[in-house]
Amino acid sequence: MMPKIIPNISVDCVVFGFDANTKSLNVLLLDRYLESEENHEVLVNDYVLTGYHTLENETIDDTATRVLRELTGLDNLYKKQFKVFGDPNRLMNEKDVIWAKSENFNERTITIAYYFLVKTHEVDIENNQHKPKWFPVNDLPELGFDHKTIINEAYTDLKAKSLYQPIIFELLPDKFTIKELQDVYECILGVEIDNRNFRRKLLTKKYLIELDEKQVGVSKKPSQLFMFSKDVYQKIYKESYLISI
C-alpha cells in the first residue's frame, strides 16, 4: 500500500549533467503531456522537473534521494538543497491550472528544490515512463510551473559554488583529463580560460592524482588521465581560509 503524502509539500530536483561532446551543461527534464478526453485535443505538452510530494515519516532529503533513484537508478549522488519556492501563486498559469485539475490537487504547494550533479554516462533514462530527456541549460524548452525559475536559480548557485568547492568533479567520469576539466569550467562559468595557465594551476593541486593511464582510441596524442581525491582535498582545506573578495 502507498504511504500517505503530505499534500502541500513537495520536492523538485534539477539534475545537471555535462555532455563532453557538445560541451554543454544539461538538465534532465520530463515530458508533461495531457490531452482532453472528448476530442483528444492536446491541452498540455511541455516539460517539467522531476519531483514528488514528501511522504509522512520521510525526511525531505529522503524524498529527494528517492525521486532521483526512481529517475536515474542512482544513489549517492551529489545533492544540494538550495532553495524553497513557496509563492502562493507559483502554480497559477493556464496550463498549470489545467494540469492541477486533472491531477486533483489544488492546495498551495511549497516545493523544496534540490540540484543534483550526475555523471551523464551513468544515468539510465530508457526505463522511465516519463521519457526523460537532456536539455542544455542555456536552451531550455517550454517549462511548466515555475520550473524555469527553479532551474535558473539552481544554475546560479552551481556557478557560484563551483568557484570555491570541488563539486565540478561530480560531473566528470572518475578518470578524466585536464582538458575535460577545463571544458566543464568554461562551460559552467561561460568564460574562456587559457589552457596553459589552467593546466599549470591545476597541476599544483595535491588532490588531483595523476594516473598510470592514458586515453586510448583517440586519433591524436593521447592525454594523461587524472582522478580527484576527496580525501586529500578535505585534509588540505580543513584548516585553510582565504578571503577572496
Shortest Å distance, C-beta 218 to DNA = 6
**Which listed residue (164, 194, 211, 234) binds a second copy by CB under 8 A?**
164
Q: What does 2 bind: a second copy, DNA, none (CB cut-off 5 to 8 Å by kind)?
A: none
Shortest Å distance, C-beta 200 to DNA = 6
* Complex with DNA: residue 8 or 182, whichever CB lies closer: 182
* Complex with a second copy: residue 23 or 201, whichever CB lies closer: 201
Q: Verify binding: residue 9, a second copy, rule CB under 8 A.
A: yes
Q: Verify binding: residue 194, DNA, rule CB under 7 A.
A: yes
**Which listed residue (79, 130, 133, 179) binds DNA by CB under 7 A?**
179
Burial class (CB in 10 A: 0-12, 13-18, 19+), 114: buried
Q: Verify binding: residue 59, DNA, rule CB under 7 A.
A: no
Identify residue 101 by its one-letter amino acid code: K
C-alpha to C-alpha distances, 186 to 25, 63, 84, nearest whole angstrom? 10, 32, 28
Evaluate whether 25 touches 136 at the Cβ level (below 8 Å).
yes
Q: Verify binding: residue 165, a second copy, rule CB under 8 A.
A: yes
Q: Verify binding: residue 177, DNA, rule CB under 7 A.
A: yes
**30 in helix, strand or coil?**
strand
| Cβ-count burial 31-65 (b if 16+ within 10 Å, e if not) | ebebeeeeeeeebbebbbbbbebbbeebebeebbb
